[in-house]
Amino acid sequence: MSRFPRSVFDQGADPDARFTLANERTFLAWIRTALALLAGGVALELLGLDLEPRLRLVASLVLIVSGGVTPGLAWVNWMRTERALRRGEPLPPSLLGPVLAIAVTVSGALVVLAVLLA
């Protein structure tokens, strides 16, 4: 039986199911994070808070774009981790942590600046 994606499941041997399931739970947690970022970006703009409008828009766009990019990075991270598990190799570093830390920091700084300039 062929499993998707073949580029992952054709590698090595099946690891302990607990590790594969933990990898899947991590992937799904990143998907929930993406939904929260998208919702936060939309809410920030649609609520029409009394903030400097251009900074509010840019902060919203940073959240929305990072929420749009997160599922793709989560998928790549899932594949890299699953391949490493199947090959018995050390786990690769996460691509998502640094990217989202920067995006949320930038968005937060923009909102603070927008509040101060309102």
Q: How far is CA 33 from the centre of its chain?
A: 6
Please report the pLDDT score of residue 95 as a whole number.
85
Q: What is the DSSP string of 3-54?
A: -S-HHHHTSS----HHHHHHHHHHHHHHHHHHHHHHHHHHHHHHTT-SS-HH
Please report the pLDDT score of residue 75 as a whole number.
97
Please report the pLDDT score of residue 40 as a whole number.
96
Mean pLDDT, contiguous 10-residue spans, the chain (118 residues): 84 93 97 97 92 94 97 97 96 93 96 92
Residue showing tokens 């739970």: 25
Cα(32)–Cα(15) distance, rounded to whole angstroms? 26
ω into residue 90 within 30 of 0, thus cis? no
Please report the pLDDT score of residue 72 as a whole number.
97
Please report the pLDDT score of residue 76 as a whole number.
96
SS3 content of the chain, % helix, strand, coil (to 5): 75, 0, 25
What are the CA-CA distances from residue 94 to residues 16, 50, 82, 112 (Å)? 21, 37, 12, 28
Q: What is the residue extent of each domain of the chain?
A: 16-117
Q: State both tokens at 23.
A: 């990898």
Please report the pLDDT score of residue 1 as a whole number.
65
